[in-house]
Amino acid sequence: MNIARRPFGISLIAAALSLTSSTFVLAQSQPTPGGTLNMLVQPEPPSLMLGLNQLGPTQFAASKIYQSLLTYGPDLKPLPSLAQSWTISPDGLTYAFVLQKDVKWHDGKPFTSADVVFSTDKFLREVHPRTRALMNQRVESVKADGDDKVIFKLKQPFNAFISAFEVSTMPMIPKHIYEGTNYRTNPANNTPVGTGPFMLKEWKRGSYIHLVKNPNYFKPGLPYLDEIYLLVIPDAASRAVAFERGTVDVLRGGDIENFEVRRLEKLPDVVSTRAGWEMFAPPLWLQMNLRKPPLGNKKVRQAIMHAMDRHFIVKNIFFNVGKVATGPITSPTLYYDKNVPTYKYDMALAKKILAQAGIKPGDYSIRVLPIPYGSVWDRMGEYVKQQMEQLGFKVTLDTTDPAGWAKKVSEWDFDMTMTFQYAYGDPAIGTSRNYISANIIKGTPFANNHGYSNPEIDRLFEAAPVVQSADARQRMYSEIQRILVDDVAAGYLTELQYVTLHKKKVRNLITTGIGLNETLDTVWIAK
């Protein structure tokens, strides 16, 4: 080798490598169409018909199939989805939405304003626990103005209404398939038809849900991905191994144990984020059936709160991914107030309160229904059982699958259960449904299933979203939090937090405040 020429040769090689690297970086900074995204769905949802089922796994999987008029940024401000624009009248009573052009259902039928009117004023008003309450209390009428415009008239100003068009709250349902049918038994519930970027190709129960690209999606050039597999892997440890081995590209919060999160997020090809939960910010609470003695006794519920060590729960069950809750509204949410009654962990005090109330715990058998979402929730069930037994109650665990859990809760067939519910950006939408008397409706989950009824709470939840003064709204919501915590309308345990892990090759994954419940139409895979 001619030594004198080495620097030149090296510089050429370096230049070539630099050029190649720059070209690679440039190429990888641009979205690349095609590819398969492998994710998990945990647990397997009972249905993908989002209008009828709003369990978390259903929302996650079906939000690629169905869409709503709006979506929301990390700041919770509305963004276009099936509506390209919208206006709100100065008096706050009229909301007018202009629809996107050339939108088609997956079966090729055009999506029009008639579908919006049917979805919101007929279908969801009848079957959807949140939207039914919203429509019946707040909305005077929904009317089409031509094929591409829809006008909502409210009974009175309702500031939170613009936050109500997230896909799980207002999914658009095809009128031509459901009108005149029994919505709950329509065979199309097994073959969902939406307007979203992905269509259901196959659902092999117990193994996977296979979604494929909608070739007629209304956004030109999207989605980038060809297909999405949502894999069903029941065991948390196996899900972590699948991620390490590259079988899956994404781990949603809750897919694996929190102690595994700390290990996996340190891997060199992994990106970790807590973004994408701004819209939901869910509290975990102990739901007690107030119809069942002695749980209808406020003193008993206060004693139970003193028997729950919430710091222990955050540290040892959720491995510090979360924080102690102070009430029904979580700290990232509008109108949160930390200055509410507190319940310190004090088992002796809890027993003293029961005795003062004249309650002999040994006279009661309590059936605890754990939420069937994996081992962390199994541990929560065991913890609640253990603490209740320390109080002296006889306790049994009533385990079931997600569909069974939803049925038992909706039929009020439980004594105690743990649940978490999404905040949906405003307590008028995500919180009030759990406490207003009008939402004590048998047959639907995620309503006031525990049977709490307080005329003052009904009045405040009715009045707060209507007043124009932000300070007055805050005072009302602060009073709501004070009353609900003092009543122990539910046992507020922790504010849940979630970590999303994904491989670096997965780009553009979290783009809005609804995170992985987004359509994922702009997600792409670096080659």
Domain annotation covers residue 16: no
Residues 35 and 88 in one domain: no
The whole domain housing 175 covers 69-182
What does the pLDDT average to over 298-310? 97
The predicted pLDDT at position 262 comes to 86
Q: Tell me which amino acid residue 507 is.
A: R
Q: Left, alpha or beta for 292 (phi > 0: left; psi -120 to 50: alpha)?
A: beta
CB neighbour list of residue 178: distance below 8 Å, 6 or more residues apart: 118, 123, 186, 188
The domain that holds 43 is classified in CATH as: 3.40.190.10
User: Which of 122, 109, 300, 115 has its CA nearest to residue 216?
Assistant: 109
- Rounded CA-CA distance 167/118 in Å is 16
What does the pLDDT average to over 188-216? 97
The domain that holds 137 is classified in CATH as: 3.90.76.10
Residue 473 burial (CB count, 10 A): 21
The domain that holds 325 is classified in CATH as: 3.10.105.10
Domain annotation covers residue 22: no
pTM for the full model?
Answer: 0.81
Residues 408 and 490 in one domain: yes
Specify the number of domains making up the chain: 3
CA distances from 236 to 222, 254, 256, 294 (A): 33, 9, 5, 36
- Rounded CA-CA distance 414/490 in Å is 14
Residues 237 and 271 in one domain: yes
In 3-state terms, what secondary structure has residue 526?
A: coil
Residues 290 and 170 in one domain: no
CA distances from 150 to 111, 114, 217 (A): 12, 8, 21
Residues 245 and 354 in one domain: no
Domain annotation covers residue 420: yes
Domain annotation covers residue 119: yes
Element (H, E) at 213: strand 208-213
Domain annotation covers residue 3: no
Domain annotation covers residue 11: no
Query: 38 pairs with which residues across the strands?
Result: 229
Domain annotation covers residue 338: yes
297's tokens: 């006794």
Inter-residue contact 516 to 60 (CB < 8 Å): yes
- Rounded CA-CA distance 86/57 in Å is 30
In 3-state terms, what secondary structure has residue 15?
A: helix
63's tokens: 């939000």
* pLDDT at 210 > cutoff 70: yes
Q: Left, alpha or beta for 276 (phi > 0: left; psi -120 to 50: alpha)?
A: left
Q: Tell me which amino acid residue 311 is.
A: H
Residues 238 and 330 in one domain: no
Inter-residue contact 71 to 279 (CB < 8 Å): no
Q: Tell me which amino acid residue 277 is.
A: W
Tracing tokens 């540290």 back to the chain, one arrives at: 315
The predicted pLDDT at position 129 comes to 80
HSE (CB half, 13 Å, CA atoms) of 232? 15
pLDDT digits (tens, 9 = 90+) for 479-506: 999 999 999 999 999 999 899 999 999 9
The predicted pLDDT at position 18 comes to 38
pLDDT digits (tens, 9 = 90+) for 384-436: 999 999 999 999 999 998 889 989 999 999 999 998 888 888 899 889 989 99
Residue 29 burial (CB count, 10 A): 9
pLDDT digits (tens, 9 = 90+) for 334-349: 899 999 989 999 999 9
Residues 423 and 315 in one domain: yes
Residues 217 and 254 in one domain: yes
Q: Left, alpha or beta for 451 (phi > 0: left; psi -120 to 50: alpha)?
A: left
User: Which of 333, 337, 335 has its CA nearest to residue 277?
Assistant: 333
The predicted pLDDT at position 21 comes to 38
Domain boundary among 154, 182, 210: 182
Residues 289 and 406 in one domain: yes
Domain annotation covers residue 17: no
* pLDDT at 22 > cutoff 70: no
Residues 380 and 492 in one domain: yes
* pLDDT at 24 > cutoff 60: no
- Rounded CA-CA distance 175/124 in Å is 12
Residues 78 and 210 in one domain: no
Residues 202 and 271 in one domain: yes
From the number of C-beta atoms within 10 Å of its C-beta (0-12, 13-18, 19+), residue 363 rates as: exposed
Element (H, E) at 40: strand 36-40
In 3-state terms, what secondary structure has residue 503?
A: strand
pLDDT digits (tens, 9 = 90+) for 217-239: 999 999 999 999 999 999 889 99
CB neighbour list of residue 7: distance below 8 Å, 6 or more residues apart: none
